[in-house]
Structure 1
């Protein structure tokens, strides 16, 4: 495998993150979600990371907190289509799960995703708790999932 690393997101990464989103639209994201990502990057980032391969940003994903930081929420996972299915998305997800598990106040880890990728999270220990049809956009359902691994 090439030289792969995870680092903290910097505002100069924003165009690269938007490019990743656009490469995955409409396959995994609805076009209207771009404005939501822009808002998130400007106002809601608590912990956000980029995944680099040979110095190129090929993925990103974050963590947000709820209920006095007792709930860690996996947020805005995006991976370049050419790098999907190679274990790199798993690397980025497991990095964040490990960080959350090392925080004693975190009692639960959740993710809100769609029917298009929920199986990815399921194979990493998340269980489906609720489905809301057409939540993100028509044809893009919300799948609320909770991590069932040990914390």
Structure 2
């Protein structure tokens, strides 16, 4: 697999929406598409796409708090036919390293997700900090997770690359 990750551009919109729709309803409720459209139109932080063989196969971004030592991952999706290929781990590592290089580098990175995808983040070194039954307006349960963006974690990501940094046994 040879992929590249770059900043989202407005002409990527159709492919990003198609990647999102490929994950409905298994990973996202259809009602979240309006939020995605809003995020694409007026992002609160940088957004990225993953390109493989000239096609957009992943999308995600993050936001940084000006008041808290905190970064928040937004979206983070891989086209359904590419699940399990390592693209999600690569995009996650890219976003964490991008945050680590910012002037307002966060100490902690959070993400909220559904229970069926929380395991992915746990395998990548995130710890569960809260579980909210019916926590989304769609009625789906919500899991909040946190990653400690320590100097050691950043060094490991830089030295090992995403494949080794996110070991399959859940250590990061």
Tell me the TM-score normalised to structure 1 length. Answer: 0.91
Deviation for aligned residue 1:21: 0.9
How far does the alpha carbon of each residue in 1:53-75 deviate from its partner, in whole angstroms, 9 at most, with x for none? 01100000101112447311111
- 4+ residue segments displaced more than 6 Å: none
Cα deviation, residue 7, structure 1: 0.5
Ranges in structure 2 where 5+ consecutive residues have no aligned partner? 152-172
Mapped to 2, the partners of 1:134 and 1:17 lie a distance apart of: 27
Aligned to 1:120: 120
> By percentage of residues, which structure has more helix?
2
RMSD of aligned Cα (Å): 1.6
C-alpha distance after superposition, 1:15-42 (max 9, x if no partner): 1111111110000001111111111111
**Equivalent residues of 2:114, 2:142 under 8 A apart:** yes
User: When you count strand as a share of all residues, which structure comes out higher?
Assistant: 1
In 2, distance between residues paired with 1:7 and 1:127? Answer: 28
**Aligned-partner Cα distance in 2 for 1:77–1:31:** 16
- TM-superposition CA deviations, 1:108-141 (whole Å, max 9, x none): 1111111120110111111111112223312x21
Partner of 1:111: 111
Query: C-alpha distance in 2, partners of 1:32/1:57?
Result: 22
Q: Tell me which residue corresponds to 1:34.
A: 33
Unaligned ranges ≥5, structure 1: none
Q: Does the CA contact (< 8 Å) of 1:45 and 1:62 recur in 2?
A: no
Contact 1:112-1:145 at 8 Å conserved across structures: yes
C-alpha separation in 2, matches of 1:53 and 1:69 = 35
Aligned to 2:159: none
Matched residues in 2 for 1:43 and 1:134: separation?
Answer: 27
Q: Secondary structure at the match of 2:97?
A: helix
2:142 corresponds to which residue? Answer: 142
Kept in 1, the 8 Å contact 2:62–2:71? The answer is yes
- Residues in 2 aligned to 1:83 and 1:12: alpha-carbon distance in whole angstroms: 21
Q: If the length of structure 2 is used for normalisation, what is the TM-score?
A: 0.80
